[in-house]
Structure 1
């Protein structure tokens, strides 16, 4: 099933094609799979074995397992596509993400993972829980694309180099794409980006410093 609105509502054209590229390439599952590996590579001193171990614990439990649940549900018609654009259909995907990542978080704690990896997983969990509350308690479909992209950018700026603030261009691109495809409003992507910076990035920075 398509994750966008019908073609009569979202016309096909160069703008929509560009928007669909951003929506897929910069999807939350892509960030959540790649980010832990990039962070682990840096914080383990470029040790390949540890990078793969800690990075994949977060990446698999935070991205691949939830995405498998989401794609399976989409194929069964439980929601309207792998981006779950209908707000009411997001409860099970949120539960799958939170439950799976919580398991990964426990593994990190028990395995004495680098504190930055623990902080990363905790920040992702906080974002998920808050997004769940906003989506259902406030009935406001906050953009997960925006939350994840913005939060990941702040984390990469801290772990690698402040010049990676240039990634906010990618954040702007994916936010634009969600509005262009009529999957979100400007308010929903703006709120998501701010939440990603303050919660994703903020919780990571605070915990990484506190656990150091």
Structure 2
């Protein structure tokens, strides 16, 4: 293995971390609806990225987990219910608060994707990195323009980085990407 390739793979994995992709998605979708949309986007960031990563970092700091990417499947089984609860609270607040329908659909798509990942994770370590990225890019393509789908070229780069670091097999990254696009896209499309 080349140390340079490993450093590049680590950088890609860290930059395209699910929390970063979720934050960017929330802001990009929110921007479509002006300042109120950005406010809803910030709320979604808190519940869909902020609270989950805070929980993970606290557990990591307690020495219970090796890293924030949760490379151990058993740890994912513990954290996914916490994230599901946080995203469900966000969805409820957005619905009751009258957020724009596509923003509610965005959070519903995140919830549906995570709900699909959870049972698979019990037996197989499907890639959350590629699932989140493919789902986010699909939603942006549906909302803004099919031209956004060109950005899907990022998905194989992220898949390579996860396989290169031996955090996933190539099939786990492919399955994650397929699941993300095939679950998030239709759920999001309902609100358009």
- What interval of TM-score do these two structures reach, taking the shorter chain for normalisation? over 0.9
Q: Map of 1:8-87 to 2, 5 A cutoff? A: 11=1, 13-42=3-32, 44=33, 47-48=34-35, 50-87=36-73
TM-score normalised by length of structure 2 = 0.96
Which consecutive aligned stretches of 4+ in structure 1 deviate over 6 angstroms post-superposition? Answer: none
Number of the residue aligned with 2:153: 169
In structure 1, the partner of 2:77 is 91
When Rg is computed on C-alpha atoms for both structures, the one with the higher figure is 1
Q: CA deviation at 1:202?
A: 2.1
Q: Distance in 2 between matches of 1:164 and 1:201?
A: 13
Query: Counterpart of 1:130?
Result: 116
Contact 1:109 1:118 in 2 (8 A): yes
Q: Is the 8 A contact 2:37 2:100 kept in 1?
A: no
Scaled by the length of structure 1, the TM-score of the pair is 0.87
Task: Please give the per-residue CA displacement for 1:173-198, whole angstroms capped at 9, x wherever unaligned.
Answer: 11110000000001110100000110
**For 2:7 and 2:148, how far apart are their aligned partners in 1?**
26
Higher helix fraction (1 or 2): 2
Look up the match of 2:128. Answer: 144
TM-fit CA distance, 1:172: 1.1
Instruction: Quote the Cα distance in structure 2 between the aligned partners of 1:142 and 1:170.
Output: 18
Structure 1 Cα separation of the partners of residues 115 and 149 of structure 2: 26
Structure 2: stretches of 5+ with no match in the other structure: none
Q: How many residues align?
A: 192
CA RMSD across the alignment: 1.1
Question: d(CA) in 1 for partners of 2:60 and 2:185?
Answer: 30
Asked if structure 2 preserves the Cα contact closer than 8 Å seen for 1:78 and 1:89, the reply is no
Corresponding position of 1:192:
176
- Contact map agreement 1:155 1:201 (CA 8 A) in 2: yes
Query: How far, CA to CA, are the matches of 1:190 and 1:173 in structure 2?
Result: 11
Contact 2:37 2:99 in 1 (8 A): no
The Cα offsets for residues 111-167 of structure 1, whole Å up to 9 and x where unpaired, read as 01100011001010011111011111xx01110001000000111111112111121
> What residue is the counterpart of 2:191 in the other structure?
208
Q: Please list every run of 5 or more consecutive structure 1 residues that lacks an aligned counterpart in the other structure.
A: 1-10
8 Å CA contact 1:147–1:200 kept in 2: the answer is no
